[in-house]
């Protein structure tokens, strides 16, 4: 009887540690892939949620009273869920977010987000394969399996926040990802941000999926909104140019290699 009591006591004592180990393991394997299968990280006080196909949502941490919204039920606190971030966002002619406060957002030719702040994003077979220093792996049917590494030194682990459950994909009319390189000739202008914008609205002057070159007359209207302070300056697009030149040089090298092989045969 004495041994039986000791056995029961040992089971009760060991159960919490076993559950804790299981919970820790669960957090470890899913700490970058939460809430509708998105990768969540923070850049300069702004939380971004990037989906595997290149769509994204965001939340400005110090602009919204999250606790008040959650207390009354479902809250529109993120960009895609309907919160009005127009005073803090710059848009381009496709209606894409170019910059959030002073965090620039870049896209590849297919409309997928390719850089947010200093976090680069790469794709393979239509899905995120690397985000910052974190590599993502999928199974044969494209379902997330695991990841290695971390996004950057400021985003080593996933940290839960109540508003994360409000991240959603963009509405159908604002989905920017397309199956042809429609942004290849488009080079928008970004401006530094100093104070909230007035009369700033999300308008689409170009159609998603159609090639478009910037309309200077249309951009004049945006510039009058975004240059709302004498300290505002146009920001360079070095990242886009550098990536384009790298891809172009790589393509040229590949073409030369193919031509040399043909000559040798």
d(CA 156, CA 152): 6
Cα-Cα-Cα-Cα torsion 128, 130, 135, 138, nearest 10 degrees, comes to: 20
**How far, in Å, CA of 118 to CA of 120, rounded?**
6
Instruction: Give residue 21's pLDDT.
Output: 34
Domain borders along the chain are 31-264
CA dihedral 30, 132, 144, 57 (to 10 degrees): 80
Greatest Cα-to-Cα distance within the chain, rounded to the nearest angstrom: 90
b/e map of 101-127 (b: 16 or more CB within 10 Å)? bbbbbbbbbbbbbbbbbebbbebeeeb
- Count how many residues are written for the chain: 265
**Angle CA(233)–CA(226)–CA(203) in degrees, nearest 5?**
140
In 3D space, the residue among 106, 121, 91 whose CA is nearest the CA of residue 193 turns out to be 91
pLDDT on residue 40: 95
Residue 200 has pLDDT above 70, yes or no: yes
Distances (CA, A) of 16 to 20, 23, 117, 205, 231: 6, 10, 41, 58, 58
Please provide the average confidence, as pLDDT, over all residues in the chain. 78
Q: With a cut of 50, say whether residue 76 has pLDDT above it.
A: yes
Report the pLDDT averaged over residues 93-115. 97
pLDDT, tens only, 148-173: 999 999 998 888 888 999 999 999 88
What 227-230 contacts at long range (C-beta under 8 Å, 24+ apart), as own/partner pairs, is: 227/191, 228/194, 228/195, 228/197, 228/198, 229/194, 229/195
Distance in angstroms (rounded) separating the CA atoms of residues 210 and 186: 11
The pLDDT of residue 73: 52
The model's confidence at residue 96, banded by pLDDT at 50, 70 and 90, is very high
Residue in 265, 12, 40, 5 with CA at minimum distance from that of residue 150: 40
How remote is the C-alpha of 86 from its chain's centroid?
18
Mean pLDDT of 74-78: 80
């Amino acid at each position: 009887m004495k041994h039986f009591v000791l056995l029961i006591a040992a089971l009760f004592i060991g159960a919490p540690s076993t559950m804790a180990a299981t919970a820790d393991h669960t957090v470890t394997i899913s700490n970058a892939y939460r809430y509708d299968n998105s990768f969540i990280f923070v850049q300069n006080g702004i939380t971004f949620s990037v989906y595997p196909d290149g769509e994204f949502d965001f939340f400005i941490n110090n602009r919204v009273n999250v606790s008040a919204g959650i207390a009354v039920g479902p809250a529109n606190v993120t960009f895609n869920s309907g919160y009005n971030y127009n005073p803090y966002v710059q848009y381009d002619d496709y209606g894409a977010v170019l910059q959030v406060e002073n965090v620039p957002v870049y896209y590849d030719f297919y409309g997928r987000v390719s850089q947010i702040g200093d976090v680069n994003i790469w794709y393979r077979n239509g899905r995120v394969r690397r985000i910052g220093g974190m590599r993502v792996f999928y199974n044969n049917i494209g379902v997330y399996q695991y990841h290695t590494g971390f996004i950057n030194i400021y985003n080593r682990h996933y940290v839960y926040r109540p508003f994360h459950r409000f991240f959603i994909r963009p509405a159908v009319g604002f989905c920017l990802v397309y199956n042809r390189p429609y942004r290849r000739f488009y080079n928008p202008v970004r401006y530094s941000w100093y104070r909230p914008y007035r009369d700033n609205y999300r308008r689409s002057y170009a159609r998603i999926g159609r090639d478009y070159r910037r309309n200077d007359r249309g951009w004049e209207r945006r510039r009058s909104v975004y240059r709302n302070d004498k300290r505002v300056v146009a920001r360079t697009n070095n990242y886009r140019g550098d990536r384009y030149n790298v891809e172009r040089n790589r393509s040229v090298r590949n073409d030369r290699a193919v031509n040399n092989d043909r000559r040798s045969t």
